[in-house]
Amino acid sequence: MIILSKINRQEHEEANFILKKENIKDGLDGGIIYTLKDNGVIIGVGKIKLKFNYGILEYLIIKEEHRGANLGDAILRTLLFKAEASGIEKIFYPYKNSYLMKKGFIDNKGEHMNSYELYLEVSEFFNKGCCGDRNEF
């Protein structure tokens, strides 16, 4: 059974193992962090760091052997929903990423914060109507 939930302290070691494989270092505190578990084993983790009136997608990782099943979408939608519930309207990502662009992130083109390659208007993401809306979480 696949379960998506907010990270808890007992999951930090297992989540850090996944992040280390992707060369990501994180203390797993601060921000919005969710894990995706399959039969109790973490197979994915994602984080949005909250700033004043915007968020930064720090990472969205699915274990390699579980990729291709669109599991990252569940984590991304949950992170964005929680960010929006916290009053966040824009999410930035520092690098070009084709997966995120398919999900609705667009080129920053220097119109917003220059140190980020991509950004997303959260309300536009949910208004697109892919496979659900904000009422599903």
Mind listing the pLDDT tens digit for each residue in 2-56?
999 999 999 999 999 999 999 999 889 889 999 999 999 999 999 999 998 899 9
pLDDT at 52: 86
The CATH superfamily label for domain 2-132 reads Gcn5-related N-acetyltransferase (GNAT) (3.40.630.30)
Name the residue among 12, 15, 68, 10 with its Cα closest to residue 43.
Answer: 15
The pTM of this model reads: 0.89
Residue 105 burial (CB count, 10 A)? 24
Residue 126 burial (CB count, 10 A)? 19
Q: Specify whether the backbone of 67 is left (phi greater than 0), alpha (psi in -120 to 50) or beta.
A: beta
- What mean pLDDT is predicted for residues 51-78? 94
- What mean pLDDT is predicted for residues 67-75? 93
Q: Specify whether the backbone of 18 is left (phi greater than 0), alpha (psi in -120 to 50) or beta.
A: alpha
Task: Give the E-state strand segments of the chain in sequence order.
Answer: 2-6, 32-38, 41-50, 54-62, 90-93, 106-107, 118-121
